[in-house]
């Protein structure tokens, strides 16, 4: 049953990408809220990773950066990092289904969510995992557009083409490997979390944010991550920041205050305390040791 759902949804997505321009949304420069009188199915959220969404059954709307967008069947939209969004019913008594795919690194996982009036959202228990070059290309283009602060026509066209290739790769993967659940899905979720942290440790990161992207419960994600790495997610994030800080200190090109901001810590004093607790040396002493070693 899950295989047929993903095959039908991905085929619909491939047609949509060939017939209409991809809708891309980025974070607004001003704070936004849901339109008056419009109730989202879930609280409005912002993720620090790009995410692809597509309606493949029913009727629904998406509130993106404070504006309502009716979703058309088979026409995907791409949410760039920190674009506020929340889905909602178009018809009070009609359920709908969405296909999701976050881009957190070298692999992608498609998931399907079902929304029924008066009931909690639930995700189909099996996922479609994709590990191809197209995933990295989509991720890189999303990062480029976000950093540029604007969506150019050429980058938009390239991104649409790569997402179409990714969709075709996903269909090939579905036929070759089927859908995943259980241990394979857990391992993939851990790898996606590791990739997410590696690419985003300098941003605001929470377990809830990553769990929402992967359509998993925060407790479950933290549990499987700790089992695989020996550390809870936030501890791993802190360690990643400290490793990056040590490299920057060793380069000797940036003051401690700048390094703290560079690795995602806004308070320099807190950074210094954290650095000493993790390494046994203050940033200044660590830098002196590095210079002495090079001398």
- Confidence (pLDDT) at 71: 93
What's the token pair of residue 83? 């674009």
What is the predicted pLDDT for the residue at 101?
Answer: 92
List of residues 6+ apart from 69 with CB closer than 8 A: 23, 61, 62, 63, 77
Residue 39 pLDDT class (50, 70, 90 cuts): low
Among 135, 154, 179, the domain-final residue is 179
Same structural domain, 14 and 160? yes
What is the secondary structure of 68-127 as a DSSP string? EEEPPTT--EEE-TT--EEEEESSTT--EEEEEEEE-SS-EEEEEEEE-TTS--EE-S-B
Encoded tokens for 95: 């359920």
Per the CB < 8 A criterion, the answer to whether 245 and 283 are in contact is yes
pLDDT digits (tens, 9 = 90+) for 189-223: 898 899 889 888 888 888 988 888 888 889 999 99
Query: What is the percentage of the chain residues whose pLDDT exceeds 70?
Result: 92
pLDDT at 238: 94
Lowest mean pLDDT among 43-57, 217-231, 263-277: 43-57
Quote the DSSP letter at residue 201. T
Domain count, the chain: 2
Q: What is the pTM of this model?
A: 0.81
Residue 47 per-residue DSSP state: -
Residue 96 maps to a domain: yes
Within the chain, where are the H helices?
Answer: 2-19, 133-148, 153-177, 182-200, 207-214, 218-229, 233-251, 256-262, 268-279, 283-294
* Domain with 241 in it: 234-294
Residue where one domain finishes, among candidates 153, 179, 205: 179
For residue range 218-253, what is the model confidence (pLDDT) as tens digits? 999 999 999 999 999 999 999 999 999 999 988 888
**Position 197 in a domain:** no
- One domain, residues 144 and 80: yes
- Whether the pLDDT of residue 1 is over 70: the answer is no
Indicate whether 147 and 262 sit together in one domain: no
* 231 contacts 242 by C-beta, under 8 angstroms: no
- Residue 70: inside a domain: yes
Task: Find all residues with CB under 8 Å of 53, minimum gap 6, and list them.
Answer: 62, 76, 77, 78, 79, 85, 87, 98, 99, 100, 101
**Would residue 46 count as lying in a domain?**
yes
Residue 202 lies in a domain: no
Report the distance separating Cα 268 and Cα 270, nearest Å. Answer: 5
**What is the structure's pLDDT at 14?**
96
Query: Cα(first)–Cα(last) distance of the chain, in Å?
Result: 66
| 55 vs 41: CA distance, rounded Å | 14
Q: Which among 264, 273, 261 is positioned nearest to 234, based on CA atoms? A: 264
């Amino acid at each position: 049953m899950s295989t047929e759902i993903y095959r039908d949804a991905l085929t619909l997505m491939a047609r949509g990408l060939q017939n209409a321009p991809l809708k891309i949304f980025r974070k607004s420069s001003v704070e936004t809220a849901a339109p008056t009188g419009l109730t989202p199915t879930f609280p409005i959220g912002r993720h620090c990773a790009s995410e692809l969404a597509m309606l493949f059954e029913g009727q629904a709307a998406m509130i993106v950066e404070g504006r309502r967008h009716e979703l058309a069947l088979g026409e995907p939209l791409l949410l760039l990092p920190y674009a506020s969004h929340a889905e909602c019913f178009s018809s009070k008594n009609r359920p709908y289904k969405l296909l999701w795919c976050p881009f957190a690194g070298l692999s992608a996982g498609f998931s399907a969510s079902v929304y029924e009036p008066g009931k909690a959202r639930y995700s189909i228990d099996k996922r479609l995992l994709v590990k191809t070059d197209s995933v990295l290309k989509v991720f890189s283009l999303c990062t480029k557009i976000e950093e540029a602060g604007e969506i150019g026509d050429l980058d938009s066209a390239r991104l649409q083409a790569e997402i179409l290739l990714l969709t075709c790769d996903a269909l090939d993967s579905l036929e070759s490997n089927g859908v995943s659940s259980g241990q394979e899905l857990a391992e993939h979720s851990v790898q996606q979390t590791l990739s997410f942290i590696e690419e985003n440790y300098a941003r605001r990161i929470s377990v809830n944010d990553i769990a929402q992207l992967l359509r998993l419960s925060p407790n479950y994600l933290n549990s499987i991550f700790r089992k695989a790495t020996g550390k809870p997610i936030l501890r791993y994030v802190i360690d990643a920041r400290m490793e990056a800080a040590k490299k920057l200190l060793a380069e000797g090109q940036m003051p401690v205050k700048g390094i703290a901001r560079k690795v995602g810590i806004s308070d320099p004093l807190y950074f210094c305390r954290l650095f000493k607790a993790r390494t046994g040396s203050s940033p200044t002493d660590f830098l002196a040791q590095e210079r002495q070693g090079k001398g």
